[in-house]
Amino acid sequence: MLSKRLIACLDVRNGCVVKGVQFEGLRNAGDPAALARRYNLEGIDELVILDVTATLESRQALADTIHAVSRELFIPLAVGGGIRSLDDAEAAIEAGADKVSVNSAALIDPALITRLAARYGSQAIVVAIDAKRAGGRFDVFSRSGSTGTGREAVEWAKQAEECGAGEILLTSIDQDGTREGFDCELTAAVSTAVSIPVIASGGAGTFQHFLDVFTAGRADAALAASVFHYSEHAVSELKQFLDSNGVPVRLQPV
Amino acid sequence: MIALIDYGAGNLTSVRKGFAAAGADLYTPATPADLRDATGIVVPGVGHFAATAALDAGWRGAITSALGRGAKLFGICLGQQWLFQGSDEDPDVPGLGIIAGRCRRLPPTLKVPHVGWNSLDIRRPSRLLAGIAPGTQAYFTHSYAADVTPEAVAVTTHAAPFASVVETDQVFGVQFHPEKSAAAGVQMLRNFVSLCSPSA
């Protein structure tokens, strides 16, 4: 049976992980490769490197980071933040990314999704959607959640799939950073409307939140950052918890 | 010498890095003639079956000749599908046909594409899977998959069972991405590299 995936997000700026990490024994907590290595040992299923600055100056640092992580970790690696063109995607993929995540640029030019998919295959193209509740619907925002787009999340996800997206990375702006749980209603609405996998993001705080988003939220994967930093064994303990609650996960071979 | 055939179906950076971790520096043949000294040939690939049309008569002939000299062939993802006679994804493009059987679209009773980690039901002893524990999971991303034929040494199920690993005396194939399947995947690459060494 297909496992539900746990994806760790590394927010990086100029080659360093931004959010605090408290693993003991990690020689350099800000080193993305060291953190990625740690997550890999714990059994994380996939990594996302998010360039939170996405400035021209940070591009080389990002490529170096991708290269360092992909050289020793053999799990899928997605890269997002400031991917606006085929050239941006090429730089990330040549450095060792398996997937690129596009957000604002795809909202401006949905055909970018098609061009990227034609070049690298749909499996390499993740469309990130940042959505916020507005009455009975979910509005899509761009530019890190700062700008309204007039689009609705379910409709935009369907359009992205038609354009050639391979996966949807769906972030709830309302829940992001709250640690109060994923927006299961939003996730289920999008996940049932498309046939491509939906990665839920925003709000992870407890193990129960992951169980909720994999059941009520119909998520195919769940992404988190800081929750995995709480303890050294968060990933493996979370997987044991999900497994004991009937959610299929990839357990480490003994 | 192990060749990695780049026929334009996807980026090969990850495959190359995976083999590097498995101890092999793969070369990319520019023309079919460059396969003359290959002891192993890797056919990777992601995307649409139509892309395999680039593996034209010249490549097919050189690969067949290499097999005649005892070389080993390894198809990964789309490369495995190409080992079969063809795929419903593009019925006009013939596969290599070294394995009798076809590739079909996975049934829509579950989400397709099949993306993520799924388990390998290992059906019989395999050299490619030497050292791989039963129930090991591998990373898949595909919509079409091959029939379960006698060559299938491992079967995976997503809405329907399909051949996730095939193996004959000289021909090997995996539907998943070993280069993205953690330590177990690298072990499979290492196994293939060993099989291609002159003493094997």
Q: What are the tens digits of pLDDT across the range A151-183?
A: 999 999 999 999 999 999 999 999 998 899 999
Q: Which residues contact B67 (CB under 8 A, 6 or more apart)?
A: B73, B98, B170, B171
Task: Give pTM, 2 decimals.
Answer: 0.95
Q: Which residue has the higher pLDDT, A31 or A188?
A: A188
Average confidence (pLDDT) over B59-75: 98
DSSP state of A2: P
Please report residues of A whose CB lies closer than 8 A to that of B52: none
Return the residue in A39, A74, A75 with the most chain B beta carbons within 10 A, the one to mutate for interface testing.
A74
Concatenate the DSSP letters of all residues of B18-68 into one string. HHHHTT---B--SSGGGGTT-SEEEE---S-GGGGGGS-HHHHHHHHHHHH
Examine the pLDDT at B81 and tell me if it is beyond 60: yes
Question: Which pLDDT band holds residue A254 (cuts at 50, 70, 90)?
Answer: very low
CA distance A100 to A93: 7
Examine the pLDDT at A29 and tell me if it is beyond 70: no
Question: How many CB atoms lie under 10 A from the CB of residue B198?
Answer: 6
Interchain proximity B111–A45, CB inside 8 Å: no
CA distance A248 to A237: 14
Which of A25-39, A204-218, B159-173 shows the lowest mean pLDDT across its residues? A25-39
pLDDT tens digits along A195-229: 999 999 999 999 999 999 999 999 999 999 878 87
Helix H or strand E segment including A200: strand A198-201
pLDDT tens digits along B13-27: 999 999 999 999 999
Q: Which of B110, B111, B182 sits opposite A74 (nearest CB)?
A: B182
Residue A24's pLDDT is what?
Answer: 57
CA distance B69 to B175: 26
